């Protein structure tokens, strides 16, 4: 009975010890490789400095494009009415402005708060201008409304030009710093 008990104990203990030893060796090597990889990554990150200036300049480029695309004259020349319904055209214009803005919203990480506020304000002013004009000229067709917006957009154009100038100034600042 003692020999059967000892044999049974060995039968369960030896495989458990072998599995524990193999697991220890495997995980030790795995941790060693992971540590070497982490050291390599840390050494390479510390050697190559992350150039934020390039990202800031790219953001300024994207924001200039945004400024040009939400510029009322460029917007009206690029987007034709799909029907003669003035409300549908107003919605289409507003939707394009919002999509452009949302597409570039991550660029705010790389520019000053003042510049981003100016861009947001210009976007909102342009949308408000379109909506107010649509309400005042609700009897016009979409094509006539488009023509009216093009004629009357001088005041709103100054805001868009100001945004482009502000972006250029910020880009110059990033280049000189």
19-33: per-residue pLDDT in tens? 889 988 988 898 899
d(CA 70, CA 161): 11
The residue with greater pLDDT, 83 or 50, is 83
- Residue 143 has a CB neighbour count (10 Å cut-off) of 14
Q: Which residue has the tokens 């390479």?
A: 44
Helix axes of 52-69 and 113-136: crossing angle, nearest 10 degrees: 10
d(CA 126, CA 101): 12
d(CA 131, CA 27): 65
Specify the pLDDT at position 6: 84
- Work out the average pLDDT over 68-90: 90
For residue 49, pLDDT over 60 is answered with no
- In tens, the pLDDT along 113-132 reads 999 999 999 999 999 999 98
Task: Say how many CA atoms lie within 13 Å of 91 toward its Cβ.
Answer: 7
- In tens, the pLDDT along 1-14 reads 688 888 888 888 88
Specify the pLDDT at position 147: 87
pLDDT band of 103, cuts 50, 70, 90: very high
pTM summary value: 0.68
Give 29's contacts (C-beta < 8 A, 6+ positions apart): none
Specify the pLDDT at position 11: 87
SS3 content of the chain, % helix, strand, coil (to 5): 85, 0, 15
Give 46's contacts (C-beta < 8 A, 6+ positions apart): none
């Amino acid at each position: 009975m003692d020999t059967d008990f000892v044999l049974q104990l060995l039968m369960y203990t030896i495989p458990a010890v072998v599995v524990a030893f193999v697991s220890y060796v495997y995980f030790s090597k795995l941790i060693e490789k992971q540590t070497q990889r982490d050291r390599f990554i840390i050494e390479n990150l510390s050697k190559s400095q992350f150039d934020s200036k390039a990202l800031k300049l790219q953001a300024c480029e994207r924001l200039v494009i945004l400024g040009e695309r939400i510029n009322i004259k460029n917007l009206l020349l690029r987007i034709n009415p799909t029907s003669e319904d003035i409300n549908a055209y107003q919605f289409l214009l507003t939707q394009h402005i919002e999509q452009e803005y949302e597409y570039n919203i991550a660029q705010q990480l790389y520019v000053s708060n003042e510049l981003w506020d100016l861009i947001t304000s210009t976007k909102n002013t342009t949308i408000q201008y379109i909506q107010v004009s649509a309400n005042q000229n609700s009897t016009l067709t979409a094509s006539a409304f488009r023509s009216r917006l093009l004629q009357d957009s001088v005041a709103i154009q100054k805001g868009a030009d100001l945004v482009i100038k502000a972006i250029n100034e910020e880009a110059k600042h990033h280049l000189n710093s």
